[in-house]
Amino acid sequence: AQTVTQSQPEMSVQEAETVTLSCTYDTSESDYYLFWYKQPPSRQMILVIRQEAYKQQNATENRFSVNFQKAAKSFSLKISDSQLGDAAMYFCAYRSAKWGMDSNYQLIWGAGTKLIIKP
């Protein structure tokens, strides 16, 4: 069974600095998707960034980028120029890409990392 581990329960960073959140996963599959979600104190979970395992290029969305190391099963999130609005819980998630499988519905989640932004 697949698992997702976020080893940092809490991280803090000075405003405008860069922070990296770590995520490792365990799977025997070769094709899958990885996601980072953000949940601010208002509780609405939103997608930050997505990576397809077959793509070698790391995904980037504005100040957010990932370091995807497929062999090491690592999927870290880098936030550049941190802003107060980035304060939130960040969740890493995995989903199988085996086409047509009912397991496609299941996102495997990490326990989350609480990110604190210091002004």
The total of other beta-carbon atoms located within 10 Å of residue 12's CB is: 13
Smallest gap from Cβ 86 to other proteins, in A, equals 18
Q: Which is nearer to other proteins, 82 or 108 (CB)?
A: 108
Torsional sign, CA 45, 92, 77, 54? negative
Write out the two tokens for 77.
Answer: 């999130």
Across 103-113, b (16+ Cβ under 10 Å) vs e yields eeeeebebebb
Smallest gap from Cβ 16 to other proteins, in A, equals 29
**Residues at the site binding other proteins, with contacts judged by CB under 8 A:** 4, 9, 33, 35, 37, 42-47, 50, 52, 91, 95, 97, 99-102, 104-112
Smallest gap from Cβ 33 to other proteins, in A, equals 5
Q: Which is nearer to other proteins, 20 or 109 (CB)?
A: 109
